[in-house]
Amino acid sequence: MTDATPLPEHIDADRVVLPDGVLTDGWVEHRDGIVTAIGQNEAPVAGAYPWIFPGFVDGHCHGGGGASFDGGLEAARTAARTHAAHGTTTMLASLVSARVDVLAEQVGGLARAIRSGELGPVRGIHLEGPFLSPDHRGAHDPDALTPPTHEAVARLLAAGDGLVRMVTLAPELHGGLDTIEHLAAEGVVAAVGHTAADYALAREAFARGATVLTHASNAMMPVHHRAPGPVVAALETPGVRLEVILDGIHLHDAWARRLLLDAGERGVLVTDAMAAAAAQDGRYELGGLAVDVADGTARLADSGAIAGSTLTMDSAVRRALGVLGLDPVAVACAASAAPATALGLDGGAITVGGPAHLVALDSTYEVVGVLPGVG
């Protein structure tokens, strides 16, 4: 946990990152959870926060603080609190592949906890699987993978009672493209991922209604000059957003920079964090599989496949600003506005009348304050 403190009602900041530019010597006021005014001081204010960013929005996160969203209510609370302390003010709870009946039970439990307000920033559920390619399963249990059926999808959506907001699936599976249409018709984001799809099939999946590419370049065909694959298909399709895991491990930093620059306002930072985020190295479990975490890198104990990240959103933002050298407005878009838009959630930008979801960073981009406070 960081030592992030609640923010005052009148917040002075050397720089406030707004959707269209950085306001220097600015201030933000809020009341009852809403931003009420934004303005500029005539001169720097002593004790002002170095930076105010919009609260981070993480659409792909399995856990943190030693706990996972599939581990019951107390574990889900710990995971949510951990990421809230690192500046995440809106997020989805991601579940890895499991048998449909098991998954439906997990979804039901999470949905009840979200509705009762017990999970802080968690606004919905992301199902990563079980409709994934066995050949690109990453850290998903092969025994849990299955082609999608209308009945299975309907059962999972019903268990969430409107709170399943995104489903990652492989469009090449039997029924895959029909399932994308089914999800889109239900108002659920269909995401292409853990897939053997080539460029043409990915284009078709997006034409049928998929709007997200799950962790671009990971667990899918790479970009090749004669076989450009799903990443190029996503870049070329207006309205499709590309998730980027910016931990220096899942993607080379230069490739991550290219993806974010090419995607523009469609680039989305996600953590894909597992339980070891903001926790110790050691042996963990992810969807029933043993995972070893060493130096912050999570790998399946048996195959060595990368098994999620140990990222928090503030760490991804530091990397985007520092190592990648992206400008703060672009970083705020990728960390907040783009994911909020992708998921149809409010927040993601600092605007008068918008939710008071704010993160104060110091001059080295460490979190020093979060609003709403960490429950």
Contacts of 27-30 with C-beta under 8 Å, sequence gap 24+, read: 28/52, 28/350, 28/358, 30/356, 30/358, 30/371
Tokens of 101: 């009946």
Q: How many Å apart are CA 51 and CA 314, to the nearest integer?
A: 13
CA atoms within 13 A on the CB side of 314: 29
Backbone φ, ψ for residue 18 (5° rounding): -95, 170
How deeply is 43 buried, as exposed, middle or buried, from its count of CB atoms within 10 A (0-12, 13-18, 19+)?
A: exposed
3-state secondary structure of 291: strand
Q: How far is CA 92 from the centre of its chain?
A: 7
Helix (H) or strand (E) holding 12: strand 10-18
3-state secondary structure of 142: helix
Tokens of 250: 């899942």
Q: How many Å apart are CA 12 and CA 91, to the nearest integer?
A: 27
Helix segments in 116-250, DSSP class H: 150-160, 176-185, 199-207, 229-235
Catalytic residue flag (residue 272): yes
3-state secondary structure of 280: coil
Q: How many Å apart are CA 71 and CA 285, to the nearest integer?
A: 10
Residue 134 DSSP one-character state: G
**Contact assessment for residue 259 and residue 64, using Cβ atoms and an 8 Å cutoff:** no
Query: What angle (nearest 5°) sits at the alpha carbon of residue 349, between those of residues 348 and 351?
Result: 140
Catalytic: which of 141, 272, 281, 295?
A: 272
Q: How many Å apart are CA 234 and CA 236, to the nearest integer?
A: 5
Tokens of 138: 């990453």
Q: How many Å apart are CA 169 and CA 337, to the nearest integer?
A: 24
Helix (H) or strand (E) holding 21: strand 21-31
Q: How many Å apart are CA 291 and CA 345, to the nearest integer?
A: 32
Active site residues: 272
